[in-house]
Structure 1
Amino acid sequence: MVAQRDQVRRTWREGEMLVQGLGQLRQLGYVVRDIHAAMDHWTRRLGVGPFFYFERAPVLDFHYRNEPSRAAASGAFSNLGAVQIELIQPLDDHPSVFNDFLNSGLEGLQHFAFWTQEFDACVERFAAQGAAIVQQGYTGNRNGRFAYFETEAHPGTMIEISEVQDKKAELFERVAEASRRWDGSDPVRSLSTP
């Protein structure tokens, strides 16, 4: 892990700040060992909910360090005000940044995300600043791409750029609206994987 952090530090260009100008922070992503316990904690203890839960997140064309990976994860989404809370539990040992995080002995906040409709431009901007994509794929359709950038010199600071359009945008708005009106009932709402 130390060698990996040193490599990340070497790829950054001195004086450049990656997230300046990306707009509002939209998501905090927590990697957990038990997603059901995590949803219970967030809903019953913290009062954040409801969570929209995928037993197996619908991720396609998943790549880790430029190699295809069959990694699978459960995922759940809710909102805390304007910020989405994402819970992720790996379901296997296939390569992913989520397994890297847990295998390093950590659990909790793993990344924060910015949403965009200009995905290619954001990816190019990060690449120009020396940030490398470590994990990528898409959800829903090709307009639901995501990329995680190897910027984590400190736990919980990996950055995700997420393209939010079409079905993904509709789901995220549904999550936000349900959170605004949530009265504590029906705290976990299962979603089917297409």
Structure 2
Amino acid sequence: MSALFGKVCQNGYVVRDIEAAMKFWTEVMRVGPFFYIPDVKTEWFRYKGADSAVEMSIALANSGDLQIELIQQRNDAPSMYLDHLKQHGEGLQHMSYWTNDYQALYDRAIAEGFVVGHEGQIGGPKGRFAYFETSGHAGTVVEISDISGGKGRFFGHIRKAAENWDGSDPVRLVGN
């Protein structure tokens, strides 16, 4: 538990081949089902304050209360995902903390000296997210994510699907 951010709700892994990563997680780790979004649509995305046209795929599944996110960036637009791949290779890139009061948590983090590395919005104003630059070791980037809207309901659906997952239908396509 973080005194500033609360409990870790998600571990995010940057991968070069999301299909291979989903196969590993579902067949070896037996975590699933994954909800796969091959072409994530962000309403806006900024890297270090400048607009960036990031194209990415994500896949989401739960292991108990912890959500696993797999992220494959599909282009060379500036992002902390590419930074991680260049500096550390594939692997755990961030820990995400979820909130129903995004702006208050965002403002507290900024007041505490955190600096936004990249941020964006998916699914309207209640779908904001921010990744804060952190030093230390690979995998310690902090993300905060607004779950007060549709994203929160979607995350609840993913959690529920994992509760009694029997290994069938391991990858479920979302969107398109």
TM-score (norm 2): 0.96
Residue type at the aligned position of 1:130: G
Aligned sequence identity (%) = 43
Indicate the residue corresponding to 1:139 in structure 2: 122
SS in 2 for 1:124: helix
Gaps of 5+ in 1: 1-17
Residue type at the aligned position of 1:89: Q
Task: Measure how far apart 1:21 and its partner are.
Answer: 4.0
Q: How many residues align?
A: 176
The separation in 1 between residues aligned to 2:135 and 2:38, in whole angstroms, is 27
The separation in 1 between residues aligned to 2:2 and 2:97, in whole angstroms, is 9
Residue type at the aligned position of 1:30: Y
1:179 aligned onto 2:162: yes
Match of 2:57 among 58, 65, 74: 74
The separation in 2 between residues aligned to 1:72 and 1:78, in whole angstroms, is 21
Match of 1:83 among 60, 66, 79: 66
The separation in 2 between residues aligned to 1:58 and 1:19, in whole angstroms, is 30
The separation in 1 between residues aligned to 2:54 and 2:11, in whole angstroms, is 21
Residue type at the aligned position of 2:64: G
Residue type at the aligned position of 1:172: F
TM-score (norm 1): 0.87
Which structure would you say has the larger Rg? 1
Match of 1:110 among 93, 96, 110: 93
Range with bigger deviation, 180-189 or 98-107 = 98-107
Residue type at the aligned position of 1:189: R
Q: Kindly report structure 1 stretches of 4+ aligned residues shifted beyond 3 Å.
A: none
